[in-house]
Amino acid sequence: MPSSHPQSVAVNAALEVIGDVEPRIATAIAAELTDQRASLKLIASENYASPAVLLAMGNWLSDKYAEGTVGHRFYAGCRNVDTVEGIAAEHARALFGAEHAYVQPHSGIDANLVAFWAVLAQRVEAPALTGVGVRHVDKLGDEDWQALRHELGNQRMLGMSLDAGGHLTHGARSNISGKLFDLYSYGTDPATGLIDYDALRRTAHEVEPLIILGGYSAYPRKVDFRVLREIADEVGATLMVDMAHFAGLVASGQFSGDFDPVRHAHIVTTTTHKSLRGPRGGMVLCDAELAPYVDRGCPMVLGGPMPHVMAAKAVALAEARRPEFRDYGARVLANAAAIAEGLSRRGATLVTGGTDNHLVLIDVGGYGLTGRQAEQALLDAGIVTNRNSIPSDPNGPWYTSGIRIGTPALTTRGLTTDDMDRIAELIHTVLDATEPGTADDGTRSPARYRLDPALAEKVATQAGELLAGYPLYPDVVLG
């Protein structure tokens, strides 16, 4: 008999309505819940949103166009969208202590593009760039843009290199950010794997960038944003921070003082999922001086806002303001430290030797494997991770030499530090038993591997037994 819990009733009713139109989609949605319940999810960028957040996305707000900002829409009938966006921004400002919040971006890259163009637009309108005779970027004509194109196209950005732990949107050549700016990169100390702030400062003084970009995708340590702001001020740069990965640690108060980017940066971007546990989307926080430029995100960069997702952001941000979210952030850090210690004790090589945030980066070269081989072998054993480059990676960005793991999702399920040690044992068991495979011509293959299926099945069973004690969405019973 189906559960009478409101969450079960809501989910089953939704699946029934969907199934009446396209049953294959309803089946796939149900199957995804089943798969996620059975997966030992260690992907650092994934989490589990609450049923309240998920349900906030499935409603009539999805039907509304709302280009513009609160009170200044290009479409009529946006009263309720204004309410939703206003509440989401209100929660964001209060949660992070920001002067301004823009909650419309559809993703992290959208948020970064809004920030990039806001900084560029501010620069165009600055008194130093009045040679074209136009001060307001929205009023620039074709000839004005032609005169400014060289200036805009050669603005310099200094961001963390991809192999040191930066993100594709921080200036990778394959991304629009690497084409929009004249890019320079900073990395880490080869001996420690830590950011070399002295080297970063020297590069900044040589380059004199418009933007210094902080934040990371695979750097397992805190970043001193106070120092980054000092460097930015010394060279007249705008300090931008992408905190998509660790926003939940900022929101929960675990990253404070020098490690709180909102306190030090001119402009901060983030996703709203990952460690923040919201819907897939983006957000920009900034100083009041940048707010008018950020609010031009639509139509400068974005298409129409998605009001239903902004509603879900508002719910997630409200959840993050509750006392229990502070405890969640502390447990994320404790679990990451525990799994790092467990791996190190078993002989695994960790980039920087450990972690003080939510993620751990394993150098699987010590097991004689590529990241691609390790990722697939772990997946065979029911452990979901992702391969990732390490500093000066000999295998490049596709096959890689690293495995990135993170604790936000499993912490949401309730797993503890003792459980992390058990997971470290399972990871080590699989990697230690995996052997590199060979290509058809007998040469070593960076993708193929050999793992005893019986061992993979045994580990998957143990992972399942561990997860059985921490049911996912326990109040949701399908059927």
- Asked whether residue 145 carries a pLDDT value surpassing 60, the answer given is no
For residue 244, name the pLDDT band (cuts at 50, 70, 90): very high
Which band of pLDDT confidence, cut at 50, 70 and 90, is reported for residue 349? very high
**Residues tagged active-site:** 65, 67, 242, 271, 274, 280
| Winning range, highest mean pLDDT, from 293-307, 338-352, 436-450 | 338-352
Residues 350 and 448 in one domain: yes
For residue range 384-430, list pLDDT tens digits in order: 999 999 998 999 989 999 999 999 999 999 999 999 999 999 999 99
178 shares a domain with 200: yes
Domain that holds residue 242: 60-320
Q: Are residues 332 and 237 part of one domain? A: no
pLDDT band at 358 (very low <50, low <70, confident <90, very high): very high
pLDDT at 147: 57
For residue 129, the model assigns a pLDDT of 44
**Mean pLDDT of the chain, nearest integer:** 91
Q: Residues 221, 166: one domain?
A: yes
Least confident range of 14-23, 36-45, 138-147, 156-165: 138-147
pLDDT-based confidence at 2, cuts 50/70/90? low
Q: Lowest mean pLDDT of 160-164, 311-315, 361-365, name the range.
A: 160-164
With beta carbons less than 8 A apart as the criterion, state whether 157 and 165 touch. no
Q: Which residues contact 333 (CB under 8 A, 6 or more apart)?
A: 249, 254, 356, 357, 358
- pLDDT, average across residues 377-383: 96
Determine the pLDDT at residue 150.
56
Tell whether 229 is covered by a domain. Answer: yes
Give CA–CA dist 119/266, Å, rounded: 10
- What does the alpha-carbon distance between residue 186 and residue 474 come to, in Å, rounded to a whole number? 45
Which stretch, 160-169, 239-248, 442-451, has highest mean pLDDT? 239-248
CATH assignment at residue 339: 3.90.1150.10
Whether the predicted pLDDT of 455 surpasses 70: yes
Residues 344, 267 share a domain: no
List the single range of 23-32, 52-61, 192-201, 437-446 with lowest mean pLDDT.
437-446
pLDDT at site 204 = 96
pLDDT band for position 302 (cuts 50, 70, 90): confident
Of 320, 337, 358, at which residue does a domain stop? Answer: 320
Please report the pLDDT score of residue 121 as a whole number: 84
Burial of 256 per CB tally in 10 Å (0-12, 13-18, 19+): exposed
Same domain, 343 and 314: no
Give me the pLDDT at residue 135, please: 45
Shared domain for 300 and 378, answered yes or no, is no
Statement to judge: residues 363 and 453 lie in one domain: yes
pLDDT tier for residue 205 given thresholds of 50, 70 and 90: very high
Q: Residue 53: is its pLDDT beyond 60?
A: yes
pLDDT of residue 163: 78
Question: What are the E-state strand segments in 72-152?
Answer: 72-73, 100-102
Task: Quote the pLDDT of residue 130.
Answer: 42
For the segment 252-268, what is each residue's pLDDT rounded down to a tens digit?
A: 999 999 999 999 999 99
Q: What confidence tens digit (pLDDT) does each residue in 282-301 have? A: 999 999 999 999 999 988 88
Q: Tokens for 418, please give them.
A: 């003792």
Q: Is the pLDDT of residue 146 over 60?
A: no
How many folded domains does the chain comprise?
A: 2
Of 425, 423, 403, 428, the closest CA to residue 413 belongs to 423
Residue 314 shares a structural domain with residue 342? no
pLDDT at 309: 97
> Based on the domain organization, do 278 and 306 belong to the same domain?
yes
| Contact (Cβ atoms closer than 8 angstroms) between residue 239 and residue 245 | no
User: Residue 265 sits in a domain of what CATH number?
Assistant: 3.40.640.10
Average pLDDT rounded to a whole number, residues 203-231: 95
Reply yes or no on whether the pLDDT at 223 is more than 60.
yes
Helix, strand, coil percentages (3-state) for the chain, rounded to 5, are 50, 15, 35
Last residue of a domain, one of 271, 294, 320: 320
Same domain, 343 and 295: no
Q: What is the pLDDT of residue 149?
A: 52
pLDDT at 128: 46
pLDDT at 131 > cutoff 60: no
Whether residue 426 lies inside any domain: the answer is yes
228 in the same domain as 364 = no
Residue 464 pLDDT class (50, 70, 90 cuts): very high
Question: What percent of the chain clears pLDDT 70, i.e. is strictly above it?
Answer: 91
